[in-house]
Structure 1
């Protein structure tokens, strides 16, 4: 990075934080601080909802996911538009009618205080962990690639977010989300067109798609019914639907975005806006990852994209074995470039026999390269078991730092850090609100005035910011960061969604049955996840159905016990 990149990066981040503080200073009431005075328009709500979900993990992990596994991950989002329709029709009108500050207030009105408290605590656990991971994700990658100190990065990102989130509350989060989404999309479009312009002059976008398709990177739809398969059409419209319904309908970090709407209609339009644009946005981000794959068909790439991993193995007794793998990797790259040229020439003259021969050769070479990378990961693990061998999350940042021009590097790093700030701000905002409203205010015997409750909410937001930084400092990588966040959500979301559906549609079920059912369900889901009963996406539907079923059985059994005929 050069001075211009530093100027772009630091200027972007400081502007966002400063704008958020200046634009939203002076919140004097809980309504102002928590719901932004109910002044948000639909486009602000829509962008804020999108920015809350689009963390740094989205822009680090998703391109790497596409680079290795293709576009199939987009199926994960297929249930989202359906979930938006349900939330607009059922959740939003109820929340606005009851004028709640948090989603969990509704549960006390319908059931009892202990059910509200339990659900709030489940939210605090999973969202508190997620807040730490959304700080940790960009920090660990930037630390490894740039050599920056990991803990210092965690603290810097956390402090910047804390400053404007604590200062302005929900309104600060919403207004900064608009700037962050603009920066994010501009940066990704720049990356897309830069890759296209960096390929050989005779390689058009159509040629890029042919090469990607030949290497099975454009296989979007999978209609397999195997529940162990993470990303299929069926898991997307079922498990993905339940996950989206729970996340957007019951997670305070999202509910708080549309509770700030000027009216029910503004909130609904904002959610529909998100439902329409989310899949195309994720499709485009995955397509950027596929473009990176094609770019590296013509340009050199490292054997492992994590520089810390390469450094660890090269300083070990396995160094010579690793160098031999690197030499084989370079030879494969030369063969790949030749195969790509043969493939393109065959397409140019429409020689379909030659096209198929070149395609088979291309696929075979990429499989050999994949095997080579697997062997490298094995060596790295043997050299140092503490180093992350899975390099999916490092692919895009390696491309940014080693191939983009001066200035654009700073912009793309600003994209990653802006995304981290946007999602973390929403999470801290929600965590502080839930702690203040659902736990502190509800259980405090003496009432405070509005300014005192605002100060309490700010204090809890600050506390959760510190906790998130601590979690980030002790966190560790997992298979793929974007999957890790979704796995954490899936463990809890199905249960929480089931509780809300019981509140909406099963009027005969009472609080005691729901409370016990929720505890039993959470234990079973955690066991199911640990024992790998099914792909994590299915946990959402499983948890939702399980808590409803157990609650109905418990309520029915309780009524049977209380039946006078039985007692006689």
Structure 2
């Protein structure tokens, strides 16, 4: 990066941090966990979107589209349905009871044990996810600065933890407005510059990327083994989002900052309305990056560490083949633009298939010759484009976008983890009658604790298939069971706390087992289906156990 890029990056981040700390100076009580319940609907909506829009969204999503097209957008099709259900049935209960966390409601419905057990499931899941959201921006800075990835994880995790410690929920809420403004400006600029610099007009770019299988936003094929289709989106996705927005404290805490039930509802509906277009837009940027790179030479693997193999004989042979293939393909595309010949397009598809094969051979070579280097390069595609092809100043702004998103989402997660630990565990079980100031101090200690745990997970993270899927996989391991607990609480008044608690202990290991059986290819079950399976197993198990719980004292 040039000096101007660094100046833009530092200015944007310092402004956001200083503003948030300034606006949160009056934080003195545990009511600050909810930012004083003063936010209007639009701030609630932006805060919800900013909490979701982590660095992973802007780093990983374009890379996902570069490789696989727009199909990932289907993941969000169940979101509007989930928002309507939550607005009608869940938010009124939370506001009527004036709760600080979602899990307070469970104690009044089921008892203390179920409340604690469900809160612990959330803490495990969100603690893991916080590590991934630290890991994503660490990739960026380690790439830019040439730093060791482990050191970069520690530095970023420490900075976000300190920022959250000083400002708390109020700082998080206040700064998310500025963060979303920076994010929208940066991404629209990126899109404009990509389209402006395409070596073909937008219509040709759409035709070409469509022929290459990138314009594929909807698949109607019902296949339980397919990760993204409209059926898994509306079934698995709806269950996932019901749990995420209805039971995950990092989200519940955002809309409970609304100054009224009406404002919270409008904020959730705002999120449901704009999230799908936002994700589609970010994915579309990735598709345009794919078209751009049809004319620009790219590395065999986008992970910059893969260049360590450039003296490897096999790597050099693959690179020579790849370079020739790229030139052949570029000439074919120029010829195709002239008359959109279907014969030439058929030849281009063959060349594209060969390119995919070569890239896979390079990944296999990296895994064999340098296993310490991450061969999966989806998360490096967009950052490679930013650093090498965007103008000075814009590079700094887009890096600020990604790091702002990291600050926003990670600080929200750490704050929610601290709030749940204080309210549901510490205050309820160990210190029920101490002063508000001591609870606030305890929340800061727990923020520090969860920050250190998140850093530990970040240091030990791997790229999975790519980061945005990793976060959703972690969520799917727990969200179905947690949603099942709340579904029983809201819909099945005759099922009590003992049956529900034992069902958690039975069903959660089953869900984890199903996932690992799929990983080892003993069964075929994509992770989105774990959400409805977990929820339905909870309801079924608790319904079966309830008659026995009435007879047995446990």
> Deviation at 1:438?
0.3
Alignment partner, residue 350 of structure 1 = none
Distance 2:38 2:26 in 1: 15
> Deviation at 1:242?
0.5
Alignment partner, residue 228 of structure 2 = 231
Q: Of 346, 350, 359, which residue of structure 1 is paired with 2:339?
A: 346
Alignment partner, residue 543 of structure 2 = 552
Task: Return 493-502 or 376-385, whichever deviates more.
Answer: 376-385
Q: How does 1:524-563 map to 2 (within 5 A)?
A: 524-532=510-518, 533=523, 534-559=525-550
Distance 2:513 2:502 in 1: 17
> Deviation at 1:444?
2.0
Structure 1 position 493 matched with structure 2 position 445: no
Change (3 A) 1:57 1:445: closer
1:250-305: CA deviation from partner (whole Å, max 9, x where unpaired): 00000000111000000000000000000000000000000000000111111111
Aligned residues: 548
Q: How does 1:284-295 map to 2 (within 5 A)?
A: 284-295=281-292
Structure 1 position 150 matched with structure 2 position 143: no
Distance 1:457 1:46 in 2: 25
Decide whether the 8 Å contact of 1:30 with 1:453 is kept in 2.
yes
Distance 2:77 2:444 in 1: 37
Q: Of 230, 245, 250, which residue of structure 2 is paired with 1:248?
A: 245
Task: Return 64-73 or 338-347, whichever deviates more.
Answer: 338-347
Q: How does 1:95-244 map to 2 (within 5 A)?
A: 95-144=94-143, 146-200=145-199, 203-244=200-241
Secondary structure at the counterpart of residue 297 of structure 1: coil
Alignment partner, residue 88 of structure 2 = 89
1:217-238: CA deviation from partner (whole Å, max 9, x where unpaired): 0011111221111000000111
Distance 1:227 1:142 in 2: 38
> Deviation at 1:335?
1.3
Structure 1 position 468 matched with structure 2 position 435: no
Distance 1:155 1:437 in 2: 28
> Deviation at 1:167?
2.3
Decide whether the 8 Å contact of 1:325 with 1:372 is kept in 2.
yes
Structure 1 position 381 matched with structure 2 position 378: no
Alignment partner, residue 354 of structure 2 = 368
Distance 1:28 1:370 in 2: 57
Change (3 A) 1:20 1:561: closer
Task: Return 182-191 or 425-434, whichever deviates more.
Answer: 182-191
Change (3 A) 1:3 1:508: same
Alignment partner, residue 314 of structure 1 = 310
> Deviation at 1:381?
1.1
Decide whether the 8 Å contact of 1:235 with 1:537 is kept in 2.
yes
TM value normalised by structure 2: 0.97
> Deviation at 1:559?
4.2
Change (3 A) 1:298 1:250: same
Alignment partner, residue 565 of structure 1 = none
Structure 2 residues without counterparts, runs of 5 or longer: none
Alignment partner, residue 21 of structure 1 = 21
Distance 1:381 1:161 in 2: 33
1:114-153: CA deviation from partner (whole Å, max 9, x where unpaired): 1000001001101001111100122134314541232332
Alignment partner, residue 566 of structure 1 = none
1:177-225: CA deviation from partner (whole Å, max 9, x where unpaired): 111111112111111111111122xx22111111111111001111122
Q: How does 1:315-464 map to 2 (within 5 A)?
A: 319-347=312-340, 355-445=341-431, 447-464=433-450
Decide whether the 8 Å contact of 1:26 with 1:168 is kept in 2.
no
Decide whether the 8 Å contact of 2:27 with 2:170 is kept in 1.
no
Distance 2:552 2:504 in 1: 21
**RMSD of equivalent CA atoms:** 1.4
Distance 1:189 1:444 in 2: 49
Decide whether the 8 Å contact of 1:8 with 1:411 is kept in 2.
yes
1:500-524: CA deviation from partner (whole Å, max 9, x where unpaired): 0100010000111000001111000
1:299-353: CA deviation from partner (whole Å, max 9, x where unpaired): 1111111111231x235xxx11111111111111111111211221114xxxxxx
Task: Return 264-273 or 223-232, whichever deviates more.
Answer: 223-232
> Deviation at 1:164?
3.2
Alignment partner, residue 10 of structure 2 = 10
Secondary structure at the counterpart of residue 434 of structure 1: helix
Decide whether the 8 Å contact of 1:17 with 1:160 is kept in 2.
no
Secondary structure at the counterpart of residue 180 of structure 1: helix
Distance 1:545 1:462 in 2: 36
Secondary structure at the counterpart of residue 293 of structure 2: helix
> Deviation at 1:560?
6.7
> Deviation at 1:162?
2.3
Distance 1:141 1:517 in 2: 42
Distance 1:5 1:445 in 2: 49
Alignment partner, residue 351 of structure 1 = none
Secondary structure at the counterpart of residue 282 of structure 2: helix
Alignment partner, residue 299 of structure 2 = 302
1:510-543: CA deviation from partner (whole Å, max 9, x where unpaired): 1110000011110000000000141000000100
> Deviation at 1:479?
1.2
Distance 1:180 1:149 in 2: 27
